[in-house]
Chain A
Amino acid sequence: MKFSIALLLTFLTGLGLGTTAFVPWWGFVVAAALVGATVHQTATKTFAAGFLGMLMAWGGLAWWIDWQNQSLLSQKIALVLPLGGSAAALLFITGTVGGLLAGLAALSGHYARASVQK
């Protein structure tokens, strides 16, 4: 239950914060850390909830955009970056970068709380 709540909170804040002009692109990192600190569970679960929440937020949103765009742009950007023109690789990287940041941030929150509570 806690896992799902943490995941959902990360997912929703990850989606919502990015669309506001005043919050920098890394706003979700702060949110994920707060979720990690407030929703108490094991370190592994904390990381996984953060990771999966943002993987779904960024990866899912990018996938939805890419599907509507029929990969027109992602194939080109995957040549610029360079990823051999693979839209899938670009989607994977987008989701993983978001997930990794959120997972690590959640873990930071988790250990911050643990340090204070001790």
Chain B
Amino acid sequence: MRLVPFLICTSLTVGLVVALDKPLGKAPALGKFLSPQTGFWQNAEPFDGIPNEDLSFASLKGNTEVFFDERLVPHVFAEHEEDLYFVQGYLHARYRLFQIDLQTRAAAGRASELAGPKAINFDKEQRRLGMVFAAENALREIEKDPLSRSIFDAYTAGVNAYIDQLTQAKLPIEYKLMNATPERWTNLRTALLLKMMAKMLSSGTENDLSNTNAKLIFLPDQLKRLYPQVPDSLLPIVPMGSAFSKPAVVPVAPASADSLYFSHRDTIAAHSHYQPDPDNGSNNWVVAGSKTKSGAPILANDPHLELSLPSIWYEMQLTTPTSSVYGVSLPGSPMVIIGFNDSIAWGVTNSQRDVKDYYEIRFKDDTRKEYWYNGKWEPTRLRIEEIRVKDSTTVYDTVAYTVFGPVMFDASFSNGYSKKMNLAVRWAAHDPSNEGMTFYKLNHARNYADYEEAIRTFQCPGQNFVFAAKSGDIAIWQQGRFPARWPGQGLYVMPGWDSSYAWQGFIPQQENPHSLNPERGFLQSANQRAADSTYPYFIPGAYITARGVRIDKQLAAMSQITPEDMMKLHQDYFNTSAEDLRPVLLKHVRTDQLTALEKGYLQTFATWDLLASPSSIGQTVFQCFWDSVQSAIWKDELTKMDPMATWPTEQATLELLVKDSALQFADDVRTPAVETLPDIITIAFKRACAVLDKKSAEQKLEWSLSMNPSVYHLLKDALPAFARKGLKVGGYGNIVNAIKHSHGPSWRMVVHLTNKTEAWGVYPGGQSGNPGSRFYDDYISVWEKGAYHPLWMMRAEERGDARVKGVIQFKKS
């Protein structure tokens, strides 16, 4: 009788297959995952694998050759321009598919499809901010213009050409881990990616909600001192003393502004949870031939963004018979975003301008179908958002659109605070625009006139486009479509029932802050306010002052500049803020109240070389001390409100301390005693010492150990194995080398516009998004050392060069 063993064996076998075929909680289905034919092993690429392939696609017009160099940088040579962007799309998909899929789903408020219920609130916030609305408006502009349409169509076709031939085996590993599949590309998704950048760079540059709460705490003259528009030590982008023309637009404050706006006090019980990092910023600068050793201009750029694996950037060369450009592209979008061609080079930093305002809306009733505007009920447009959720039921959310834009916060979405207020958002990123064409034109620009023409139509996010040409011209424009505001407009929530509070117009493009060939021979931008107080418009923003001061002073003092000097400036660790603060802080600390250990830390701080280098202990002491001081001065006042009122910027606090030794805000309002500044600074120092003692016990006193510079995988804590942690680098947000824990110089580039352009660059990542490739993170150690790769603008006749390690031939089928 063999039936019993048969039944036992069969049920064991079937049981095991079924068990291994089911995802176990967060882990993938093990059978499929372990299978070396379809599972993760297939993502383990041969160590030296650089492709050599022939591919053919029906939608191509002619031949395109892609030469991969030893760093896996593709040098794309296309006979036809559309094919160029098709191949760019194909390569982005081939090396970064999960990245572009995830980022654009998240941009569209569809993260829950991959992440499950925990992302529902994120998705709601994205949709209520109008991300899809913004992308749809952009898409209409993109598709209106035949040239831009053909570029975006070709790019989309290229991405899909890769997706369509994907097999389970070749699926990026993240999909295998999450048991998901990629979605085909569309032009809308390219538009969404650009709106993701717009959100990253122009959505967190206002504090309207928390400013409105600050109005309840501080008097009008205090508000002016705490939140100043022009810092004392500002060294603006447009050199000081430049003359500005008379403004063509003069916005008028509404008659009711004093009563209804400036003195109106009401708590705002809402805040957005997914704000971009306030240190999303950048440095760029350019020096004219008059200041360089070679006599040719040198341009440098380092955009500071979240550092991730894969990187936000993908390096490439795009060449057709008529043009050739090299630089970094944004996977998910065609063109090169930061780079150079045979005639010019350009770079970008963020303008940090406030282009987003909130308006309080009065609905007629709970249906939100009508709202009060200019003395009558106006209809809203209701948009029903369908949020699909992995392993759960679909969620629906209705968003009301007004004349200003979507009502982001209302009774059905107010982050759990009890007081419901309806807040509509007016955001420049909602307006129809086609930013991609600026990059298309920059990629092809030959001179200053081309550059000026290229950037003219760039609307949002406002950027500082730095420029240099072989002809010797250097220039910078702060470019964007910025609202012309009456003084104070948009700092706080505005009444949404009166059109006189709406944006009255935009600053004419020609009046945007700019400079061409200044006498001093250099230009720089580092997220500071673009112009001094003589600029005739009110331009609030989330400006950062310290880096610009350091860069400006360094460049002013330099002559006979070489590219190596510019690289050295990228790595600069000097702490300008600490230089200003140290004498003030040391003056106020009451040393007689300190223990021996505390005196030791104070001594370290007093003798520190002011460099935020990786092994510095002084920088750790300073940062702990300074954070503690800011907290001791402001926290008692700001936490009177919930959500908290806006923190004064580091620069504002610094300047108040330097100017005013009897700072009235020093007193801790929560204690009966009246604390003076020395009291508070001494208390703050003692608190900082407690933190330092803890760090000391953990052997984390050295700055890089304290900060733990890391580059995480896009899925962050879900996949720590794919991250690179504990990098040996220093810096901080206010320092030129602006590295923070997982944020900082996402691309460093130096371009020397000599007869044959010389260029260098590096980003902390690698060309491949596949953790199973050696090219996943191979640039990190180069970046960590502060070194650069030479950037090779390959010529067609160099196809036999030893640097070429692989070729993909694209042909029309």
* A interface residues, Cβ below 8 angstroms from B: 15, 18-19, 21, 24-26, 29, 33, 43, 58, 61-62, 65-66, 68-70, 72-74, 76-77, 79-81, 85, 93-94, 97-98, 100-101, 104-105, 107-108, 110-112, 114-115, 118
Residues A111 and B5 in contact in the complex (CB < 8 Å), given A66-B41, A66-B44, A94-B41:
yes
Interface contact A72-B772, CB-CB below 8 Å: yes
With a CB–CB cut-off of 8 A, which chain B residues contact A79? 720-721
Please list 21 pairs of residues, one from A and one from B, whose beta carbons are closer than 8 Å in the complex, sorted by A's number.
Answer: A15-B37, A18-B36, A21-B168, A25-B21, A26-B21, A29-B17, A58-B34, A61-B37, A69-B46, A72-B772, A72-B774, A74-B44, A93-B34, A97-B31, A101-B17, A111-B5, A111-B6, A114-B6, A115-B3, A115-B6, A118-B2
Q: How far is the CA of A65 from the CA of B167 in the complex (A)?
A: 18
- Tell me the bound Cα distance from A74 to B42 in angstroms: 11
Q: Which chain A residues lie closer than 8 Å to B3 at the CB level?
A: 111, 115
Given contacts A18-B38, A111-B9, A118-B1, contact A77 B721 (CB under 8 A): yes
Once the chains bind, are A65 and B720 in contact (CB under 8 Å)? no
Please state if A65 and B36 are interface contacts (CB–CB under 8 Å): yes
CA distance A29 to B16 in the complex (A): 11
What residues on A are CB-neighbors of B720 within 8 Å? 79
B20 and A97 within 8 A (CB): yes
Residues of B within 8 A of A62 (CB): 36, 41
Instruction: Across the interface, name the chain A residue whose C-beta is closest to B42.
Output: A65
Instruction: Beyond A25-B39, A70-B774, A107-B9, list 6 extra A-B contacts (CB 8 Å).
Output: A26-B17, A79-B720, A101-B20, A104-B16, A111-B5, A111-B10
Residue contact A80 to B721, C-beta cutoff 8 Å: yes
Closest residue on chain B to residue A73 by CB atoms: B772
Q: Is the CB of B13 within 8 A of A101?
A: yes
- When distances are taken between beta carbons in the complex, the residues of chain B under 8 Å from A18 are 35-38
Tell me if A97 and B30 are in contact (CB < 8 A). Answer: yes
Q: How far is the CA of A8 from the CA of B693 in the complex (A)?
A: 65
User: B17, B21, B36: which contacts A58 (Cβ < 8 A)?
Assistant: B36
Instruction: Name the residue of chain B whose CB is nearest to the CB of A26.
Output: B17
* Set of chain B residues within 8 Å of A73, measured between Cβ atoms: 40-41, 43-44, 173, 771-772
The reply on B808 being an interface residue by CB < 8 A is no
Q: Hey, which chain A residues are within 8 Å of B9, CB to CB? A: 104, 107-108, 110-111
The answer to whether residues A76 and B722 also contact, given A25-B38, A118-B1 and a CB cut-off of 8 A, is: yes
Q: Which residue of A lies closest to B20 (CB)?
A: A97
Most B C-beta atoms less than 10 A away, residue of A69, A98, A118: A69
B44–A72 touching, CB < 8 Å = yes
Q: Closest CB-CB distance, A60 to chain B, in whole Å?
A: 9
Q: Bound complex: CA of A24 vs CA of B38, how far in Å?
A: 9
Flag whether B773 is at the interface (Cβ < 8 A).
yes
The interface residues of chain A lying within 8 Å CB-to-CB of B722 are 76
Q: Would B13 and A97 count as touching, CB distance under 8 A?
A: no
A-side contacts of B17, CB under 8 Å: 26, 29, 101
From 460 to 517 in chain B, residues with beta carbon under 8 angstroms from any chain A beta carbon are none
Specify the main secondary structure of chain A where it touches its partner.
Answer: helix
Report A-chain residues with C-beta under 8 Å of the C-beta of B6: 108, 111-112, 114-115
CA distance A6 to B753 in the complex (A): 69
Nearest A residue to B722, CB-CB:
A76
Whole-angstrom distance between the Cβ of A104 and the nearest chain B Cβ? 4
B32 close to A (CB within 8 Å)? yes
Cβ–Cβ < 8 Å partners of A74 in chain B: 41, 44
Write out the residue numbers on chain B whose beta carbons fall within 8 Å of the beta carbon of A81.
27
Residue of B nearest to A71 (CB): B44
CB neighbours of B690 from chain A (8 A): none
**Among A25, A68, A104, contact of B47 (Cβ-Cβ < 8 Å):** A68
B581 an interface residue at 8 Å Cβ cutoff?
A: no
Closest residue on chain B to residue A78 by CB atoms: B721
B178 CB, min distance to chain A CBs, angstroms: 12
Q: How far is the CB of A92 from chain B (nearest CB, A)?
A: 11
Q: State how many angstroms separate the Cβ of B548 from the closest Cβ of chain A.
A: 40
Q: Mark contacts of B608-641 with chain A using CB atoms, 8 A cut-off: 1 yes-contact digit, 0 otherwise.
A: 0000000000000000000000000000000000
Minimum CB–CB distance from A80 to chain B (whole Å) comes to 5
Residues of A within 8 A of B27 (CB): 81
Q: Choose from B31, B41, B771 the contact partner of A26 (Cβ within 8 Å).
A: B31
User: Chain A nearest CB: distance from B531 CB in Å?
Assistant: 49
B773 closest partner in A (C-beta): A72
In the complex, A18→B9 CA distance in Å?
A: 23
Q: Are B34 and A94 in contact (CB under 8 A)?
A: yes
Scan B7-23; emit 1 where CB is below 8 A from any A CB, else 0.
Answer: 00110110011001100
* Contact residues in B for A118 (Cβ distance below 8 Å): 1-2
A-B interface, 9 closest residue pairs, ranked by CB to CB distance from nearest: A18-B37, A73-B772, A111-B6, A79-B721, A69-B44, A114-B2, A73-B44, A108-B9, A62-B36
* A63 smallest CB distance to B (angstroms): 9
Q: Is the CB of A100 within 8 A of B16?
A: yes
User: Which A residues are in CB contact (< 8 Å) with B173?
Assistant: 73
- CB within 8 Å of A: which B407-449 residues: none
Choice from A25, A70, A98, A108 contacting B32 with Cβ under 8 Å: A25
Expressed in whole angstroms, the Cα–Cα distance for A37 and B615 within the complex equals 68
A65 to B772, CA, bound (A): 11
B contact residues around A105 at 8 Å (CB): 13
Q: Whose C-beta in chain B lies nearest to the C-beta of A75?
A: B721
Q: What residues on A are CB-neighbors of B13 within 8 Å?
A: 29, 33, 101, 104-105, 108
